[in-house]
Structure 1
Amino acid sequence: MLGASKASPHRLRPRRSLHESQTKQQLKPNKSKCTVTIKIIKLASAILVPLMIGVFTFVTALQESRTSQMQRDADFTRSERAAQLQREAENRQREYQEETAKEMQRQNIYDAFMKDMKSIVLKDNLDLTTAEVLFARAKTVSTLEQIDNKRKWYLIKFLYDNQLLNYKKETTNKYIDLMGADLSNVQFGSKIKYVRRIDLTSIRLLQLELKNTSFENVILNRASFTSSNLNNSNFIDVSMIGTDFSDTTLENSQFSLSHFQNISFKGATLKRSLLSPVLTVGQLFLDKIDYTNSDLSESKFQNIKITLTVKFDGANLGQIQFFDTEFPKGILFKNFNMQMSKFVSIRLDNGAFISCNMTGTVFEKPSFQSITFEEVDLRNSQFNNITDSTGIIHLNKVNLIGSNLNVSRKQVFRISDSLLPNGTFETSFDRFQVNMIQNGNAEQGLCYYSLSQNRTGEQLSGWLVTGNVMQTYYNTSEQQMSISNYQSDWQSCFFFGGYANTNETKSAGHRIQQEINVEQLTVLINLRQIGYNVSAYMGGFDDDDSSTSMKIIFKSGIKVINQLTLSPVTNVQRQNKTSMIFRYHDNIIPSGTVSISIELLFSRINNRRGYRYGLADNIRFIIYQK
């Protein structure tokens, strides 16, 4: 057939699509990655399995080693513990044997003492020779050094019962002096309450070491502990009448007593001690107790009744505590250190504290009709539970700065010349910036024209005169007494010192003296808050070898606190003219001053002869508050 194409002997393959070609190309790399991963896993498995087996084997071996070590340690511990227990048992056995040996030794020493003392104790006391007493002392002191505390008590009781440790004034009995022996930690008496106390009346334990001792259920009437060391000792249920503790040390000691009368603690140290009654007594009565010059600081008196026969003269009462204590009516505490002391639930009728340091003192629920504080430092003190019905408190020359007193309650407080809690000074003193010298300008009383008469013995207004001092008019014609530097404020007269119509030498000179009382300002003076200035015109006549001076003396009673002298005026300072020169001084009044003495002295230089000694005028002493 024309135009017909011939059929191909082979079937033509269909042409692949572009998508199928790309898919196959992508599958080839993925297949390659899976193969690599499988190989890595197989390799890791081949490595890890032996490694894990090795680790397991190592751990197992280590555990077995530790178990074996623990077993060995346990075996060693049991062995060591057994050895330790064995050693402890051996030590206890050795200690027991040593203690038994020591006990036997102490007993042998004690028995030997008893044997050696037999001949002495069987002999009448008054027949003992000095040699026997000295032997007994040496034997006793030596034995006390070698025996225990229990046997020491037995030994002391043995000697006491045989009248070798007690002293009786009415007899001349012989006794052993144990001075220097150590009886520390010994228990005298017994904790067992006997029907009758153990009697140690008049026992002598002088100058001994008695630290940490205990005296319980005993009678110590007229006993003597002079100059012994009794620190940390206890006196429990003890009777003390006429006991002597002079110059002893009793720090941290406790007294729980039934009777406490006529006791001497002169010069004793009782710091932090406690005094109270036994429970059966209720209130301990203190009668004729002498604490003169003792140290009672930080000590405590509890449930005590004190009588006027108790002496605290010169004692240190700093931080002392009185609880439930009844003081005698009208008791006086004067010149005591009572800093930080406490008075709790006390009875104090008409009591007085004079010139005491009571800073930080506490009064808690006191009971009194009236109480007086004079010249007392009460800074930072506390008055708690003070009611209008408590009583009247008189405060004179007292420092109350920092105190909690409500001084506005006039029905309770009577205050004068005192520093109030807020620092205000309440006083009736009204002479600040006023001349305190009476008749300092020589204008009061008689004034003379003539010096021709002896005025010795004649007194001047306001002044105490020694020798011949008179008031004389200025610018008289007699004796050429014209003053070259006369001042208009000198008024009419001046003071002249000297004898008339005599050339007799008077080495003592002539003087006038005057006292100024500043007691009202005590509180401010002691705080150095009062200043003064003193001045005078002083001089003499022509070229007379005379000297006029003024001395200012600050005193407390008869005690001189301080003194100074204004520079004397001589004929040299006056340039040999009849004149007066002004002298002046300003300072603070010294603490403790109660009065000030002003002395004006007219004298001759080197005791030279002459009757004109000097002159003075306008003497002034001014007080001011700083």
Structure 2
Amino acid sequence: MARYRRFDRNLHLRTQKLFTGKSNRLCFAWAKLALSASVPLMIGIFTIVSYVQQIKISENNREKEEGLANATREKDLSIATLNRLQDQMIANITRYHDLEIANLTQIKDWEIAMANLNIANETKIQDRQIAEDNRQEDRAQQQDLHYESLYSKYIDDISAILYKQQYNQSLFTSEETKMLYIRRKTLITLRSIDSERRSFLFIFLYENNLLPDRFSSNSTISLIGADLRNINISSPLTGSYEFNFLSLQSLNMINAVFVDCQFHGETNFSGSIMNNVRFMRAVFEDSLTFYKVKLINASFIDCVFKNKVNFDDSEMSSTQFLRSKFDRLSAMLINFTNGSFHSCQFADKTDFTRSVMNGITFTYSEFSTNVEHKFIQVSLNYADFHNMSLSHFIFQNSNLSYADFRDTYLYDVQFTSKTLLKKSNFQQANFNQVKFAHVNLVGSTIDSKQLEKSELTNIILPDGNWTINRESTRVL
């Protein structure tokens, strides 16, 4: 058994060695064969791989070329599109500019045409204006020559009548007929000449003592109805014009001017129309009458009235007196609305009974302190008496609503008989012997101290709620 196992083991060993030797030779042979076959295989594989890579490279190059071609084509298309758009824009801009230039050219041509038309029209208008001015100048010269001819003829005619005795005896039977002829000739000539020659004619009448004088009616002429508009009577440097007992009644003296003139004796302008008349530095030595005169918007500047002045029943709205001096003043039944006495002096009595003087101002004027100044039944709404001294003033049955008495000194001033003082202003006014009787002070500015110094009888106080009488005086 042991011999068998040893034999088997030896056999196995010999078999194993034999098999191992053969296996090694076989593996080497196969390895040699594999190595011999691998070279062409690798060459083939390399060739295949190279071919595949070459195909891929070619495909990639072709794709790149196609992409580049497409990109180039798209870029060319974009460039072409942009060029086309630019060309269109340039064409549109060029067309717009051409249209704009055409429009501007058309507008400029139109403006030039309009300018030429305007120049032509202006030239035509200027030519017409020059022609009209020349015609006006010619007419003015002709008119002036006509006025001068009328004036010269008048002067020659009246001078012959006045100073040629033989001529007078053959033409006039009496002094009265001579004066009537001169009057008629004067009135006709005054209506036919201009204001400058009217002024000359007025001076001619003055120098020849022909101006109307109520004390010399046989040797002077009446100027009733005469046209003395716009005359300018300014005294020369050699001396003032001095008019004696001048009577210029019922005539037209609108816009007349008297400068540095002196009036002696009774002067009378009654019934005349004297709107916008101006008296500057005029001196009236004796009485002056403006009865029923239209003195609207007239001016009296630096005038002196040394005697009684009568403006009764006259229309004097907006008339102003500036730095003028009065003696006695009567202005009853006048309309003096919005008139003014500015810096004037009143040396004697003043009477404004039954007048309308709304809006009047007495600024800086001075009234005599020892005579009465009457405002009876006068409308003095919005009157201005502020910063003045009022003594012996009587306001009776008058309307002084909204009147201004601020900072005014009132001595012996009476407000009586239903006088209205609604909303009047007495602020800072100084009262001394002031009387309020039967007056209405509703809404007025007046304090308790002022009322305490006053005599009160049946008045309505500013609050409007109750009445004060003489027996039971109460103050605010």
Shorter-chain TM-score range? 0.7 to 0.9
Match for residue 75 of structure 2 among 31, 34, 59: 34
State the Cα distance separating 1:403 from its structure 2 match.
0.3
Match for residue 220 of structure 1 among 230, 240, 263: 263
Q: How does 1:240-389 map to 2 (within 5 A)?
A: 240=284, 241-256=286-301, 257-277=303-323, 284-287=325-328, 289-323=329-363, 324-329=365-370, 331=372, 332-375=374-417, 376-387=419-430
The whole-number CA distance in structure 1 between the counterparts of 2:399 and 2:95 is 90
Is 2:55 the counterpart of 1:11? no
Contact 2:349 2:368 in 1 (8 A): no
State the Cα distance separating 1:93 from its structure 2 match.
4.2
Partner AA of 2:229 in structure 1: S
Distance 1:330 1:203, change over 3 A: closer
Distance 1:10 1:73, change over 3 A: same
Distance 1:196 1:74, change over 3 A: same
Corresponding residue of 2:274: 230
Is 2:445 the counterpart of 1:400? no
The whole-number CA distance in structure 1 between the counterparts of 2:221 and 2:212 is 9
The whole-number CA distance in structure 1 between the counterparts of 2:441 and 2:282 is 43
State the Cα distance separating 1:216 from its structure 2 match.
0.9
Contact 2:442 2:463 in 1 (8 A): yes
Contact 1:326 1:346 in 2 (8 A): no
Per-residue deviation, residues 258-290 of structure 1 (Å, max 9, x unmatched): 234222222111122122336xxxxx1322x33
Is 2:220 the counterpart of 1:180? no
Corresponding residue of 1:116: 157
State the Cα distance separating 1:48 from its structure 2 match.
5.8
State the Cα distance separating 1:131 from its structure 2 match.
3.5
Contact 1:120 1:128 in 2 (8 A): no
Partner AA of 2:457 in structure 1: S
Question: What is the aligned-residue identity percentage?
Answer: 18
Corresponding residue of 2:453: 412
Aligned partner of residue 308 in structure 2, secondary structure:
strand
**Greater share of strand residues, 1 or 2?**
1
Contact 2:326 2:348 in 1 (8 A): no
Is 2:188 the counterpart of 1:142? yes
RMSD over equivalenced CA pairs, Å? 3.9
Aligned partner of residue 322 in structure 1, secondary structure:
coil
Structure 2 length-normalised TM: 0.74
The whole-number CA distance in structure 1 between the counterparts of 2:467 and 2:102 is 97
Q: How does 1:487-526 map to 2 (within 5 A)?
A: none
Corresponding residue of 1:528: none
State the Cα distance separating 1:172 from its structure 2 match.
4.6
Partner AA of 1:253 in structure 2: A
Match for residue 199 of structure 1 among 242, 259, 263: 242
Contact 1:204 1:224 in 2 (8 A): yes
Contact 2:288 2:309 in 1 (8 A): yes
Contact 1:234 1:254 in 2 (8 A): yes
Per-residue deviation, residues 460-505 of structure 1 (Å, max 9, x unmatched): xxxxxxxxxxxxxxxxxxxxxxxxxxxxxxxxxxxxxxxxxxxxxx
Aligned partner of residue 104 in structure 1, secondary structure:
helix
Distance 1:403 1:47, change over 3 A: closer
Corresponding residue of 2:139: 98
Gaps of 5+ in 1: 279-283, 432-519, 521-626
Contact 2:386 2:406 in 1 (8 A): yes
Q: Which has the higher contact order (CA 8 A, sep 6+)?
A: 1
The whole-number CA distance in structure 1 between the counterparts of 2:63 and 2:293 is 120
Task: Single out whichever of 339-348 and 397-406 deviates more from structure 2.
Answer: 339-348
Is 2:289 the counterpart of 1:239? no
State the Cα distance separating 1:330 from its structure 2 match.
5.3
Distance 1:86 1:337, change over 3 A: closer
Gaps of 5+ in 2: 1-29
Aligned partner of residue 353 in structure 1, secondary structure:
strand
Aligned partner of residue 375 in structure 2, secondary structure:
strand
State the Cα distance separating 1:237 from its structure 2 match.
0.6
Distance 1:408 1:50, change over 3 A: closer
Partner AA of 1:264 in structure 2: N
Aligned partner of residue 166 in structure 1, secondary structure:
coil
The whole-number CA distance in structure 2 between the counterparts of 1:111 and 1:66 is 63
Corresponding residue of 1:582: none
Distance 1:414 1:220, change over 3 A: same
The whole-number CA distance in structure 2 between the counterparts of 1:409 and 1:328 is 21
The whole-number CA distance in structure 1 between the counterparts of 2:173 and 2:210 is 13
Aligned partner of residue 211 in structure 1, secondary structure:
coil
The whole-number CA distance in structure 2 between the counterparts of 1:91 and 1:168 is 49
Corresponding residue of 1:558: none
Aligned partner of residue 132 in structure 1, secondary structure:
helix
Count of residues paired in the alignment: 420
Corresponding residue of 2:14: none
The whole-number CA distance in structure 1 between the counterparts of 2:393 and 2:98 is 97
The whole-number CA distance in structure 1 between the counterparts of 2:118 and 2:392 is 79
Per-residue deviation, residues 373-392 of structure 1 (Å, max 9, x unmatched): 223211100013224xx524
Distance 1:10 1:361, change over 3 A: closer
Contact 2:436 2:457 in 1 (8 A): yes
State the Cα distance separating 1:357 from its structure 2 match.
1.7
State the Cα distance separating 1:22 from its structure 2 match.
13
State the Cα distance separating 1:223 from its structure 2 match.
2.5
The whole-number CA distance in structure 2 between the counterparts of 1:339 and 1:47 is 85
Looking at CA atoms only, which structure, 1 or 2, has the larger radius of gyration?
2
Contact 2:228 2:254 in 1 (8 A): yes
Contact 1:166 1:201 in 2 (8 A): no
